[in-house]
Amino acid sequence: MLANRKYERSEHQYRLTDHALVSMDGSPTTLVEELAVPKPVLINFIFTTCSTICPVMSATFAKVQDELGPEASEVRMLSFSIDPEYDTPARLRAYAAQFGAGDQWQFLTGDMDELIAVQKAFDVYRGNKMNHEPTTLMRRSPDDPWVRLDGIASAADIVAEYRRLVAR
């Protein structure tokens, strides 16, 4: 029953304002800077001590990276920490290593209020990281709408959605 459940797909134009962030190497960055790439962007939200859905979501991103193969370098993958006071750049680097994240896959942290604002901008803020839901977002280019996948989408689902996105 649950084994067959599917994710829900929808399209959105999010009104994104800029927010200060910290990249996993410890350097300052911003949301606008991270998204201003002429490439497709894939986003999810995780925290390193999450015991339920994050390991699976991160494993899924790892598999997406593998399935894209050399094409992965044409994509930007961003995982935002929703527990930024605990998820320091050092912890994010260790977490990224655990999932074999390549250079195109960056983890972001920063000030709690800024990360809450980012979650709200993408309508994924649930008030408590323990109420966190599995959502994946993707966009072909800065001029295109966001495609939102709610639910545990498999790597195959995400790759298929990505192919649909870049083909149109």
Interface residues with other proteins (CB under 8 A)? 1-3, 5, 26, 47, 49-53, 55-56, 58-60, 62-63, 83, 85-86, 88-90, 98-99, 111-112, 126-134, 152, 154-156
Cα separation values, 101 from 62, 105, 127, Å: 7, 6, 28
Q: Which one, 39 or 63, has the nearer CB to other proteins?
A: 63
Provide, rounded to whole angstroms, the least separation between the CB of residue 40 and other proteins. 21
- Min. distance of Cβ 80 from other proteins in angstroms? 16
* Whole-angstrom distance, CA of residue 34 vs CA of residue 99: 21
Report whether 151 contacts 6 (CB < 8 A): yes
State the minimum distance, in angstroms, from the CB of residue 140 to other proteins.
Answer: 24
**Nearest distance from residue 79's CB to other proteins, in Å?**
14
Biggest distance spanned by C-alpha atoms of the chain: 45
- Are 102 and 69 in contact by the 8 Å Cβ rule? The answer is no
Report the residue number, 2 or 167, with the smaller CB distance to other proteins.
Answer: 2
Nearer to other proteins, 1 or 167 (CB): 1
Cβ nearer to other proteins, comparing 140 with 149: 149
Helices (H), the chain: 31-35, 54-68, 89-98, 112-121, 155-167
CB closer to other proteins, 13 vs 51: 51
Closest distance to other proteins from the beta carbon of 65 (Å) = 11
Q: Are 106 and 78 in contact (CB under 8 A)?
A: yes
